[in-house]
């Protein structure tokens, strides 16, 4: 509760900073890319082709010490994060001790299902008071998932990973197990079956986002994003299903935000413009595996490199280059439905908050 109140108290200052272009705030939502290395071969992603000189644990420690206790939510992404599982555990510990986030979120393709619970348990033990979310990626049911992910037998490994993690939840109250789906040109016709399966296995949360052309994933120019019409037909089925489900407490609020996010994605696909003001580079940001600091993973404009700046995050975040990137974002020089940034943007937009309260709560 204290973390949530602290987060809410910062919102007026982010709005003031956005309005005045005064860069006095550090991100509350930060993504850390541990490595692009991946053992999936997804039709919607080429990140596995990249090779980087990945940060060491020592470099992450110096960097996160510079970030300080600002982030409310930290996502640790890949590639496949569990390919570097020993360093992943260390990074989770670093974030806990240096940043004290309320939430640490890690996605996984479940291919290392036999090892995942062991390392997740180490994380849960190391971060009391911080919620650890493990999101299992699922883009279809059975062979459909394997086809999109490019790995035969992947779906069965998801099921085994889900079973192992649910058993672990009996021991650790700070573990949340979710399912995450990417809606793309490869599965928008099959979402009814996907949604039915996702709800049947009863994850703690089920989230979807749209496949996007990202610099990070090396997918610029790839025909992966559904048309406005196709996405609307696909997501409206999920919206109807969510509205029928009787969520309570925090889950009800969380799902209300997601329902509004889905509506915003539909609007973006129709207009190709920012639906609400974007706070990427101000309230949200990303550190890539090689130390580059980005406002987001879509355009991945480099504010600076941490190795070249003595691992001083603040020096880069408050630099002239960072100011220029924030101005581009503020002036609508880009637009996207990136889920991670979008939820932060919604939190900063009072009109959106009022709409959520009126329509869903």
Q: Give the separation between CA 359 and CA 361, rounded to whole angstroms.
A: 6
- Report pLDDT digits (tens) over 127-152: 999 999 999 999 999 999 999 999 99
Q: Over 90: is that where the pLDDT of 39 sits?
A: yes
Confidence label for 37 from pLDDT (cuts 50, 70 and 90)? very high
Residue 170 maps to which CATH number? 3.20.20.70
Q: Which of 346, 345, 329, 358 is nearest to 21 (CA)?
A: 329
Q: Which residues of 71-192 form beta strands (DSSP E)? A: 73-77, 103-108, 131-137, 175-183
Length of the chain: 361
Number of compact structural domains in the chain = 1
Q: Over 80: is that where the pLDDT of 250 sits?
A: no
Residue span of the structural domain in which 57 resides: 1-360
Confidence label for 253 from pLDDT (cuts 50, 70 and 90)? confident
Instruction: Give me Rg for the CA atoms of the chain.
Output: 19
CB 224 within 8 A of CB 184: yes
The vertex-82 CA angle with 57 and 105, nearest 5°, equals 80
State residue 254's pLDDT score. 83
Mean pLDDT of 59-80: 98
Q: Give the separation between CA 77 and CA 88, rounded to whole angstroms.
A: 10
Q: Which of 124, 117, 111, 126 is nearest to 78 (CA)?
A: 111
Q: Which pTM was predicted?
A: 0.95
State residue 8's pLDDT score. 85
């Amino acid at each position: 509760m204290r973390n949530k109140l602290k987060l809410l108290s910062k919102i007026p200052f982010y709005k003031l900073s956005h309005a005045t272009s005064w860069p006095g705030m550090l991100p509350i939502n930060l993504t850390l890319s541990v490595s692009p290395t991946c053992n999936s071969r997804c039709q919607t992603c080429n990140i596995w082709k990249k090779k980087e000189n990945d940060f060491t644990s020592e470099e992450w420690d110096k960097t996160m010490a510079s970030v300080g206790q600002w982030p409310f939510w930290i996502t640790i992404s890949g590639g496949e994060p569990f390919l570097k599982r020993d360093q992943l555990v260390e990074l989770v510990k670093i974030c806990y001790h240096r940043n004290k986030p309320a939430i640490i979120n890690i996605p996984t393709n479940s291919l290392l299902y036999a090892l995942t619970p062991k390392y997740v348990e180490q994380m849960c033990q190391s971060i009391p008071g911080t919620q650890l979310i493990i999101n299992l990626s699922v883009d279809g049911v059975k062979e459909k998932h394997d086809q999109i992910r490019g790995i035969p037998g992947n779906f069965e490994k998801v099921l085994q990973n889900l079973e192992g993690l649910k058993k672990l939840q009996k021991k650790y109250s700070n573990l949340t197990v979710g399912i995450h789906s990417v809606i793309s040109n490869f599965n928008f016709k099959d979402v009814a079956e996907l949604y039915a399966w996702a709800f049947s296995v009863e994850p703690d949360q089920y989230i979807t986002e749209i496949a996007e052309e990202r610099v990070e994933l090396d997918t610029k120019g790839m025909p992966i994003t559904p048309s406005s019409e196709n996405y609307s037909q696909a997501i409206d089925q999920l919206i109807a299903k969510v509205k029928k489900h009787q969520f309570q407490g925090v889950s009800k609020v969380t799902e209300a935000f997601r329902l509004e996010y889905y509506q915003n994605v539909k609007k973006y696909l129709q207009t190709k413009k920012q639906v609400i003001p974007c706070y990427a580079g101000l309230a949200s940001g990303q550190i890539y595996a090689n130390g580059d600091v980005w406002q987001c993973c879509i355009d991945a404009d480099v504010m600076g490199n941490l190795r070249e700046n003595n691992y001083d995050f603040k020096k880069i975040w408050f630099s002239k280059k960072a100011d220029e990137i924030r101005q581009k974002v503020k002036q609508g020089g880009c637009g996207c439905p990136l889920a991670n940034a979008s939820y932060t943007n919604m939190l900063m937009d009072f009109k959106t908050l009022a709409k959520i309260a009126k329509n869903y709560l």
